[in-house]
Each structure stands twice: as structure tokens, then as C-alpha cells.
Chain A
């Protein structure tokens, strides 16, 4: 028996089992819940790295669930793109799990903590499931597992989070149902649900209106799930009022996994030429995402609440990725996939910092950030790095993905979009330097209120790790591209 053969299923099952074992632990020995929770996610990180190594060394992994052959049974397929996503999701969930130890203490009552951990693990299960599965209906189920746990996690935040969660449920359900309709139409026309099987079957059916309808349903459904601009209304409220650990985790992973699904649907299920040449869809998506970038950035300027600012920036960043995917050239795709990693690090780091500041001063208002540097120098240094990366200053990671996106946009001739991309960088510069100025060069008048020290160590370490990762990963972008992303390029790019 070789466990690493099974790592693609274990990464889904282990958090699932752990999530329920946690409930038993709650009754047996409550103190063990947190260590167990972190340990499990640590194991997931190890597994994900193992999967990545296997994929790099041996190529695509296929796992037949229950021993059933592929088009009939559910098959888990892991290629470079999945493996890359799994590593991102698992490491972010692990890092935020460490962070959550102290951070949730102020936001969630003690009795509910084990349930928080369980739901968190379920969310991780859902996300892992989405990334590993090679079956579009199974993907729907995992999508809903992830979404349901996300609704619950959002709802345990502060008072207003409940209404936000309700809106999230309504929007999320519409998105999921649209996706399900897409699955239905695909099933009607092909009689198969397996992605690799569909890749084979669909090309002969490209002329059919049903195929087009399915694709439209898919894209709108996923567009809601990833909060692409006009469908984004659920996101800012949810991520603002959710507990800080949840905002950090969800912002860093949920939308990124959505982007992954979009890539799978657009370029694996269908051939790239279907979206790019045979239908105007990719063109529509490019303009759609350009508008998303523009308005996301624009709305972000006006926000006073730091987490809300980040949410709108996130909406703009989602626009970046959707844009990069649809340009239809190598550079754009590389930029988008690289940005999945960079953005999850940056936005995760910033949300964690926002949570850290909230932990200490009890406010998310940007106006209250005055002079924080004196009290929390290390956190603020991390903030500076993440902010520079958001703006896209080299050598931080954010620059490199932006570089590829802009090069891709210019090469494909979408100059307006390139200008909007740069405009959004400038807006980020405006937003973040306004905050940096408050942090470093403004004294706070009411000093007694601010007599506090750095964050507790369990919150500091994750923040520092992500900030360092932003710096280091930037330098190794070439390595990542040549060993992972290059192999996940769709056909004909």
C-alpha cells in the first residue's frame, strides 16, 4: 500500500473526517480542538506538496473513485494547474488557521469555537474537492459544500454579517443553480459528465445552440461565485463583516478557486478556439472584466472601512484574472495564473493585517490607523510589503503578474484594457500610500487609547510569512512559470 498514490483523494477526505472528529473532540477534550485543526491542515499542506511533486515528475494524476472506470465513475484528475491551486489553497488555509487562534477569540464565543473549526475544515474540503475533481457534477457538489460552509462562516461574524450572509446565500444559490443548469444542458447534449470525456465529445457539437446555452449558464454562474463586477454585490458586505480569519481565508481562496473553475470550463471543457474564435464570449469577458477592474478600483477609493476597501480591490483583482485568461495569448494566461498565487498571498496578508489592527484597536476605519507604526512596527512593515505588491512595485510578486498581464494585453492589442490595468495600479497606489502616510507620518492625538504592543505571536507569524512569501515568490516567478504554469497552458497558446 502506497499512500502517496492516494494523495489526491486523501486531501479531500482528511479534512472531511477531521471536521467531524473535531466535534467528538469538542465533547472529549476541548483544548485539543485547535491543535488538531492546525495539524490536519498541516497534513494537507504536506499532501498538496506531494501532489505537486508527483505531477511535476510523472505528469497528470488520475484517480478512479471506487474503482469505477472513467466516464461512468467519478474521476479525480490532477494536472499542473490543479496541483498549483491545491498548494495555494492548502498553504493559505494552513497559514490562516494558525492566525485564527487568537484572532477569533474576540469575535466568536468560546463554546462555538470547535464548530468554527469544523466549518472551516469543511470549507477547505469543498475547495480541495473543486480543485481535484474531474467531473462537472461532482464539482457542483463541492462548490456547494464550500459555499454552504462559507455562508455559515460569514454569518458568525459581527452583527451585520448575518444580513450579508443572507445576501450571499441568495446570490450564491443563483450562481450554483445556473452552474447546475449548465451541467444539465451539457448532459442533455452529450450524456456525459466527465471532463476529459466531454473534451472529446464536445468539439463536434460546437454548432449546437445547446452548447452555447450551457456555456453561457456556466459563465454567469461562476461569474456570480467569483463576484465579477456587476454580480459582486454579495462580496463587500460578506468579507467586511465576517470574522477576520474568515475574510482572510475566503478572500485568498474561494474566489481563486472560482477562477480555476472558469479556466477549466473555458479551456479544458471547451477548446480555447471555441471561446476565442467561434463565439464572441471571450471578447465580451475581456470588456466585462475591464469594466470590473475600473469600477472595482474606483469604488475602492471612496471607502473608509479598511476591509471594505480591500473587498473592492479584490473585485478589481478578480477582473485582472478574468481578463488575463480571456486575452487568448500565452502572456495573458501566465499572468492570470501567476496572479492567482500572488493575489491570494497579498489579499490574504492584507486581510490578516486588517484583522490584526481590529484585534488591537477595535476599529477598521482607515482614519484610526494614525501612528500605528509606533505600536506595531513588524505588522506595519508587512503591510508595506503587501501594499507595494498590490501597487505592483518590483521586486514584489505583484509586479510580475501585472507585467505579464500588461504585456499580454499589449500583444493582443487591447490597449484600453492595458491602460485600465495601469490605472488600477495607480488607484492602488493612491489608496495604500494614503494609509501608509497615516501609519508612518501621522501622530495619533489620543495616545492613551493606543497603549498596546505588537500582535500576539500566533497572529504575527502568519502575517510575516505571507509578507516574506510575497517578496521571495516574486523573485522565483520565472521558476514557477517554467516548472508549473507552462504545462498548464491551454492548447494552441
Chain B
């Protein structure tokens, strides 16, 4: 594999860090300028990330060694197709979310908006850092930065409830990462002598299998951001945050960071062969399957719209983990495609939920009767997002489910097919009632009758992501091309 050295990854990370600084010194008085920084940074970041695409498509790898702290702890960036794919998804959606945030925060007249935008930008920086990291140490550093930078966002409302939930959020993420992930990293270092992600795995076969199993389980428990049960309950707790945070961070950037790191650990620390020989992939698959079903069942009972979406996220994230656990090329394809499919679908759903809140201050599903007539565009987008989540054909979610199913057959794990089927039904069960009450039922309060859409800054991003969900299904080739590259790089084909 060719390697080219470029400072672009650092730039991509620095852009939003710089913007965070600019936002902080601009402050509340010049709010338009402040928001300009935010939007400019998001666009620049996306452009920088995309500019690396041609090199990656040629099969090159971009590297940059930022800082050698000690002989083994090195801040090192290396961008392969997988990292770039994740970075592109996150940075593209940041542009849309930036606009949405402006509409949402101003629409609700939220307090401390400057702090909000600052930490948002920092989180995105750190997300890029995880995507670009070349070793598990770099990933861990940025992982922790994400945890700490999102804490103020979750506690944003500063009410007792928000503080309580933020405490829970932090307790889960920080304690598991320090207790389990760090231990796992130490064990990795002690076992293999370095911390790099390398193709086909960093750890070798000749180490005692019980130690390897412990390390693997510690990783799975330590990367709590992937919200694998039973360490998932921080994610519903995080829903007290403003909706754009839930949308971008707790449906895309933060949780996908977790999933992304699990992919890295599975394929680049342990490697396919080692996992197969230890039979650990079955453990992961079973845990993920359990999460998929259990989270869906819990989602059925939630009346709060955002909470239902949160549990849906928990369930959907495990699709990606499951895809990784199957250790077959097609499953990995599905898994990676699901990163983008879920990103677009879930962000649409959250945007819609936020839009409803901004216009009507309603958060509960039982209050949504007839909302579809008031806000047809928003609810249409919501429907599209929901259908994509269920996996109905003209939307992106279908493709990932297809590949996952193929992968399940490829690797002889038929129970996965059953899980997928059950989960599809459950998805339909918890999403369709919302669509039903929104369009079919009559509104209870007759005060509002005509169309009363959300503010324009909120509306357009929602519709846009909904349309994109459709577009991804209709022309998936550019994505598939990149994904095939990823699969080739991972499996060495």
C-alpha cells in the first residue's frame, strides 16, 4: 500500500478547533458572526476531508505523525478508506446540523449558545481525530476528548434533571473507558509491544487465549460509546441535550465513534483469523443480537419521542457491530453501509423530532395526534426516515440489511437472519404507530388547524436529509466503491 504524508488530517481536525476558539471570543453579542464561523468551519472541514478522497480511491494511505510523546505513545494519524468514510459522513452531516442548530437554538431562545457551539465544534474535531487515528492510543485520546466535550452539551439545560442525566452520561462513558478500555490498551501493549492498528491484526496467536479473551471483552465493555447492552443506558440519558446534539452526536458522531472503534479493534487489533480461532466473534454476535432485539422491545414502551429514537439507535448500532462480528466481507459491507444509512435516517428522525418541539413544544408521542396535517413536510421526512430504519426498499436502510443478510448466510450464522427479521418487525412496530397517529388521527386541540411548519432553518435540513436517504438508495455506487475498497483493505483481498 502506498503511503503519502500530508498534513491534511491535522488541518481537518484543527479547523473546528480553531473555529471553537473563534466562536468563544466572538461571543453572544455578534451572534451572526459566531454562526458564520461555525458554518465556515463545517464547510472547510468537509472540503478538506473530501480532498483526501482521490488519493484514498487510488489505494493510497495518508499518514501524518503529529507528536511522539514516548516511544510507544505516539499521536499518529493514518487515513485509510474506512477512516475517511466515517470522517466524510460525520463532517458532511455537520454542515447540515450547523444550519439546523442555528434554527433550533434561536427558535427556542436557548441560553449559553456560545458554549453550545464551542463544544459542538470541539466534539467534531475529536471525532475526526478518532476517524484518522493510526493507533489505539490516539483513538483513546480523542475518545476521551469527545466524552468530556459532550458533557457540557448534555448538561446544557442546567436543570436538576439535565445534571443528573449528564452525571450518568459521564459516569458511564468515563468510568468504562478508564476502567476497561485503558486496561485493554495496557494489555494490548504488554502482549504485542505496540499499539498500532495493523492489517490482519496486531496481536498474534501465540499468546495465551484467556488473556486475549479478557482483552477483547475489556475492549467491548470499554468502548461504551457503541451502546452495546448492558452498558447502553447513557444514551437515553443523553437525550436531555438539545435536539441537534442528539441528532448529530448521539445518532452519528459520538455513537459511530464507538462503533468505528469496535470495527478497528475487531479487524485491526485482533484480526479475523485470531478472532475466529478464539471463537470470540460468536460472543460479540450474540451480544449484538441481544442488544438489537432487547433495545427494540424497550423502544416500544417509550412515550417520549426522543427516548424512543434513542433506543432505536441502541438497536441500530448493534447492526453495525453484528456486521463486524460476522467477519465476512459482505457483512462488513452491510455494516459499513449501515453507518451512512443509519446516519442519514436517524438524523432525519431527530431533526423531525426537534422540529416538532420547536414549533409545538411537544415531546410525547401521545400528543402527536394529527401533527402530520400541521407539519406535512416534517412528518413526510419523518416517515421516510422511519421507513429507511425499518429497511423498506426505496430507502438506504434496505441496502445495508441486504448485505447483512448475505453476510449472515456467508458465515453460516443463520440465527442472525432470524434476528434481522424479528428486528425489522419490531422496528415497524415502534415507528409506524407514530406515522399513523400523525397523519390519520385528528388533532385534539382545535386551536391550530392550518399548516404551521417549523422555522426555515429547521425545515430545510430535515427535508434535505430525508431526500438524501432516498438518494443514497438510488445511486449507492460511489459509496459502494469506497466500501469495496474498505473491505479489500480489511480482508486483504
Q: Is the CB of B70 within 8 A of A437?
A: no
> B73 near A441 (CB under 8 angstroms)?
no
CB distance from B358 to the nearest CB of A (A): 24
The answer to the question of B128 belonging to the interface, with a C-beta cut-off of 8 Å to chain A, is no
Determine if B297 is an interface residue (Cβ-Cβ < 8 Å): no
CB of B10 to closest CB in A, whole Å: 15
Q: What separation, in Å, do the CA atoms of A440 and B163 have in the docked complex?
A: 10
**Interface size of A in residues (CB-CB distance below 8 Å):** 32
Question: Are A481 and B70 touching (Cβ within 8 A)?
Answer: yes
Within 8 A of A (CB), among B135-191: 137, 140-141, 144, 148, 152, 155, 158, 162-163, 166-167, 170-171, 174-175, 178-179, 182-183, 186-187, 189-190
B69 & A407 in contact (Cβ 8 Å cutoff): no
Interface residues on B, range: 20 to 34
The answer to whether B71 has its CB under 8 Å from any CB of chain A is yes
Minimum C-beta distance from A323 to chain B (A): 15
Chain A interface, DSSP helix/strand/loop, else mixed: helix
Residue on B nearest A434 in the bound complex, by CB: B167
Q: List A contacts of B166 (CB < 8 A).
A: 437, 441
B190 partner residues in chain A, CB cutoff 8 A: 407, 410-411
Which A259-283 residues have a C-beta within 8 angstroms of B?
A: none
Which A residues touch B183, using CB under 8 A?
Answer: 406, 418, 422
- If the complex has contacts A400-B69, A403-B186, A407-B189, are A422 and B179 also in contact, measured as CB distance less than 8 A? yes
Task: Give bound CA distance, A481 to B68, whole Å.
Answer: 12
Task: For residue A297, give the distance in angstroms from its CB to the closest CB of chain B.
Answer: 13
- Indicate whether B67 reaches chain A with its CB closer than 8 angstroms: yes
Of the listed stretches A57-65, A163-171, A388-396, chain B binds A388-396
Give A361-405 interface residues, CB cut-off 8 Å to B. 388, 391-395, 400, 403
Q: Which residues of B contact A391 (CB under 8 A)?
A: 174, 178
> Contact between B152 and A478 (Cβ–Cβ < 8 Å)?
no
- From residue A149, how far is it (CB to closest CB) to chain B in Å? 37
User: A32 contacts the other chain (Cβ, under 8 Å)?
Assistant: no
- Chain B contacts of A474 at CB under 8 A? 69
Picked from A393, A425, A442, A443, the residue with its CB within 8 Å of the CB of B148 is A393
Q: Is A477 an interface residue (CB 8 A)?
A: yes
Closest to A480 in B: B70
A440-B190 Cα distance, complex, nearest whole Å: 39
A426 near B144 with CB under 8 A, answer no
Q: Are A477 and B69 in contact (CB under 8 A)?
A: yes
How close is A51's CB to chain B, nearest CB, in angstroms? 25
Contact residue among B68, B175, B178, B187 (Cβ-Cβ distance under 8 Å from A478): B68
Check if A433 is an interface residue, CB within 8 A of chain B. yes
Contacts across chains A and B counted by CB atoms under 8 Å: 79
- Is A429 positioned at the interface, with any CB of B under 8 Å from its CB? yes
How far apart sit A12 and B451, CA to CA, in the bound complex (Å)?
Answer: 83
B179 touches A426 (CB 8 A): yes
| Whole-angstrom CA separation of A304 from B171 in the bound complex | 21
Whole-angstrom distance between the alpha carbons of A411 and B186 in the complex? 9
Q: Does A301 contact B (CB under 8 A)?
A: no
The verdict on A39 contacting chain B, using a C-beta distance below 8 Å, is: no
Q: Chain B: which residue is nearest A428 at the CB level?
A: B178
The reply to whether A403 and B73 contact each other, CB–CB distance below 8 Å, is: yes
Chain A residues in 8 Å Cβ range of B71: 478, 482
Q: How far is the CB of A482 from chain B (nearest CB, A)?
A: 8
Q: In the complex, are the beta carbons of B70 and A400 less than 8 A apart? A: yes
A475 at the interface (CB under 8 A from B): yes
Knowing A410-B190, A437-B167, say if A422 contacts B178 (CB, 8 Å).
yes
CB closest chain-B residue, reference A395: B141
Closest to A405 in B: B186
- A410-B190, A443-B158 known; A400 vs B73 contact (CB < 8 Å): yes
- The winner among A395, A407, A425 for most chain B CB atoms within 10 A is A395
Q: Digitize B48-71: 1 where CB-to-A-CB distance is under 8 Å, 0 elsewhere.
A: 000000000000000000011111
Interchain CA distance A426-B73 in the complex, whole Å: 22
Neighbouring A residues of B162 by C-beta, 8 Å: 441
CA gap between A474 and B182 in the complex, in Å: 17
Asked if B186 and A410 sit within 8 Å, CB to CB, the answer is yes
Q: List the B side residues contacting A433 at CB < 8 Å.
A: 167, 170, 174
> A388 to B148, Cβ gap below 8 A?
yes
Are A406 and B182 in touch, CB under 8 angstroms? yes
B167 and chain A: residue at smallest CB distance = A437
A4–B389 alpha-carbon span in the complex (Å): 74
Question: In whole angstroms, what is the CA distance A394 to B144 when docked?
Answer: 7
Instruction: Return B237 CB to nearest CB of chain A, in Å.
Output: 14
Residues of chain A lying within 8 A (CB to CB) of residue B137: 394
Q: Point out the residues of chain B lying under 8 angstroms from A475, CB to CB.
A: 67, 69
Contacts of B144 in A (CB 8 A): 393-394
Pair A441/B186 contact, Cβ less than 8 Å: no
Closest CB-CB distance, B192 to chain A, in whole Å? 13
* B-chain residues with CB within 8 Å of residue A400 when the two chains form the complex: 69-70, 73
Chain A CB count within 10 A is highest, among B71, B152, B171, B178, for B178
Q: Enumerate chain B residues within 8 angstroms of A406, measured Cβ to Cβ.
A: 182-183, 186
- The CA of A130 and the CA of B186, in the complex, are separated in Å by 35
Assess the A429–B186 pair: CB atoms within 8 A.
no
Q: How far is the CA of A403 from the CA of B71 in the complex (A)?
A: 13
Given A393-B144, A441-B166, A475-B67, verify A410-B158 contact (CB < 8 Å): no
B69 touches A441 (CB 8 A): no
CA distance A244 to B216 in the complex (A): 46
CB distance from B344 to the nearest CB of A (A): 32
Closest residue of chain B to A425 (Cβ to Cβ) is: B178
Q: How far is the CA of A403 from the CA of B74 in the complex (A)?
A: 13
With contacts A400-B69, A403-B186, A418-B186 taken as known, whether A426 is within 8 angstroms of B167 at the C-beta atoms is no
Contact A426/B175 with A437-B155, A441-B163 known, Cβ cut-off 8 Å: yes
A residues near B178, Cβ cutoff 8 Å: 391-393, 422, 425-426, 429
Interface residues of B in 340-356 (CB under 8 A from A): none
| Residues of the B chain whose Cβ atoms lie less than 8 Å from the Cβ of A418 | 183, 186
B70 touches A478 (CB 8 A): yes
Minimum CB–CB distance for B259 against chain A, Å: 21
Chain B residue at smallest Cβ distance from A440: B152
Query: Can you name the residue of chain A whose Cβ is closest to the Cβ of B115?
Result: A440
Complex interface: chain B residues within 8 A of A481 (CB): 70
CB neighbours (8 Å) of B186 from chain A are 403, 406-407, 410, 418
Q: Considering the chains assembled together, what is the distance between the CA atoms of A476 and B144 in angstroms?
A: 20
User: Which residues from 207 to 225 on chain A have a C-beta closer than 8 Å to any C-beta of chain B?
Assistant: none
CA distance A250 to B171 in the complex (A): 33
Annotate B189-216 by CB proximity to A: 1 below 8 A, 0 otherwise: 1100000000000000000000000000
- Which residues does chain B contribute within 8 Å of A476, judged by CB atoms? 69
What is the CB-to-nearest-CB distance from A391 to chain B, in angstroms, rounded to a whole number? 7
How close is A393's CB to chain B, nearest CB, in angstroms? 5
A277 to B77, CA, bound (A): 43
List residues of B (311-329) whose CB comes within 8 Å of A's CBs: none
Decide: B140 and A477 in contact? CB cutoff 8 A: no
Beyond A441-B162, A442-B158, A478-B70, 16 extra complex contacts between A and B, CB < 8 Å: A392-B182, A394-B140, A394-B141, A395-B75, A400-B73, A406-B182, A407-B190, A410-B187, A418-B183, A422-B178, A430-B171, A433-B170, A474-B69, A477-B69, A478-B71, A482-B71
19 contacts between A and B (CB under 8 A): A393-B144, A393-B148, A395-B69, A403-B73, A422-B182, A425-B178, A425-B179, A426-B178, A426-B179, A433-B167, A437-B163, A437-B166, A441-B166, A442-B163, A475-B67, A475-B69, A477-B70, A478-B68, A478-B73
